[in-house]
Structure formats: C-alpha cells, structure tokens
Homo-oligomer: A and B are copies of this chain.
C-alpha cells in the first residue's frame, strides 16, 4: 500500500485513547498486546467481521457502523454469560476514506467502549481497494466451565428470547424503501433497530447457573434455534403466538401476513436466545425485571430433531424459508415440520 501516511497517523491518534484504561494495550504502540486473565476466570472469545454492502450500507453513519461492530460481538459474549472487557479491531479502509469519516467512526468506537466498559487493546489497520471490511475480536470472562453453550439444552427446557423479534430484518426492508404503509415513527424505530442492535449485556452474566444453553439471534430465529437444537441433540418447538413483537412489527404483520417469514427467518436481531428448566422461570423473570429487558418464553425443547413452528393449538404453521446468510453458518438446513 502506498501513500496515506496522514490517514494512518490520524488513526493512531484517534484510537490510542481507547486503550488508555488497559495497560496491556501498550498504548497501541507495539505489535502485540498483553493480557492477564482475572484469577479464577476463563476467557470467552468471539470474532465477527462486517463488510460494507453485505452487513451494513457503506453510507450508514460511521459512528453507528463502529458501534454495531462492537455490539454484534458483545452480543455473542453476553449470550455465553461472559463479562466483556476488551476488544481488538482490524479495519481495512477503502483508499478514499476521509479524515472526517474516520473521526466519526472513532467517535462511535469510543462511545461504545465507554458504554460497555471495554478497552481497545490492539489490532491492525490496512488499506483496501474493496469495500470497508471490519473485524473485531472480543474478550470476556466467565467462571471456568460455566459458559452457556449452544449444546447445553435439555429436554423439557423452555426456550426464552430477550426483547422483540424481527425488528432488524423489517428495519432493513424499511431502510431499502419497503413497508411504505407503516407510520414514520414505526419505520424509524425499525431502522434504528437494524442500525444499532442492543447487546443484552445486563442479562447474559445473570444467566450463569440458571440457563442450560445460550446463543444470540443473528442468522434468524428459526436457523439459530436449529443450531441450538442440533448441537444439543434435541428438537425445538416455537410457538408463533408467543413471539414478542414490537408495535411496528405487529403493524407490519397486520398489513401483510407473509412478513411472518421475515420475522422468523430474518437476521440481525442480536437478542439472547436461551433455554432453562421451567423451575428457573421465576429467577429469569426477576432478572428481566431488574434489567428492564423483556424475557419471553417462546417454546420448548424436547426429544427428536429439527425445529417445528406451531400455533397455540400445536398445529404446524407453514413458513416460507427466507434465507439469511450473514456470519458463520454451516449451511445446514435447520427446518423441519
């Protein structure tokens, strides 16, 4: 890569303050970072990439791109019950990236590093002839052996979901000019949910010792429940009538019933999906109340395999498969029934 020394000096200047709280970051002046894991804790690591034109729009506000990148990764950590504390960022910036854009991007990073008490401890900056490509590695910690895995679900567990479902997928449609019948406040709400997910960090660590299995909804509910069912060697049943929907999502569904496929299959929700035995329901409800975040039972795990979507009477609901292939994905088919 040639040229652009000013850009790289600017990045160093903008990013270094985000490392100030973490001595092992060495002020981002070395090739590596040093990390002491808190005594008696186990590290939990996740790594997610986002590409302009695939996972966000190149003209999205730069601070929101940065914050979404952090939040997508913190959502993964929270779903494991981990307490996040550090991130590393590798950014491939297009040649034409402007100083003002970089400042706004760094401002977004700083805002969420502060909001979630994570330090930027290292990373890399390169130039690309292609689209903006961002990769974050995020670090959290849990008690040894206590992380909530996809594979931990037990037959008889209830399936829980945080917040509301489908807003981000509907927001993407609204962002692209769809859902014209919705009110402006409803459209704005959905678009905001697409642009800036809310990682449920106030919930995740509280699920340790309560939930059996955990993950976040990033690829779409049906697909993600399918991952959990398969890794746990069980079947899952989702009750359509129990799904927590926002008022804008209910309005979208009322106007066009086929949006159910978007809600069940769309991605980017970054809500927590976990299973817990019914005996823990009171504990989960208290956790929800304390955090001020809705936690809703949406179905249950049982013997068998696959994901079955049913109505309140237990009758199978036909849902068109709306593919959503962000992020790591085995490409396996989680649908059944």
Report which A residues bind B (CB closer than 8 A): 1-10, 12, 26, 29-37, 42-51, 53-55, 76-77, 79-80, 82, 88-90, 92, 121-131, 133, 135, 137, 144, 147, 149-151, 215-216, 218, 227, 231, 323, 325-332
Q: Which of B47, B329, B331 contacts A122 (CB 8 A)?
A: B47
Give the top 9 A-B pairs by smallest Cβ distance, nearest first: A130-B130, A5-B331, A9-B331, A8-B331, A35-B43, A135-B135, A32-B46, A49-B90, A137-B137
Q: Give the Cβ gap from A231 to chain B, nearest Cβ, in Å.
A: 6
Copies per assembly: 2
In the assembled complex, which residues on chain B have CB atoms less than 8 Å from the CB atom of A121?
45
Q: Give the Cβ gap from A103 to chain B, nearest Cβ, in Å.
A: 16
The binding surface of chain A is classed by DSSP as: mixed
Q: Give the Cβ gap from A324 to chain B, nearest Cβ, in Å.
A: 9
Distance of A332 Cα from B12 Cα, bound (Å) = 10
In the assembled complex, which residues on chain B have CB atoms less than 8 Å from the CB atom of A2?
323, 325
Q: Which of B29, B49, B55 contacts A150 (CB 8 A)?
A: B29
In the assembled complex, which residues on chain B have CB atoms less than 8 Å from the CB atom of A79?
31-32
The answer to whether residues A30 and B151 also contact, given A47-B88, A130-B130, A331-B6 and a CB cut-off of 8 A, is: yes
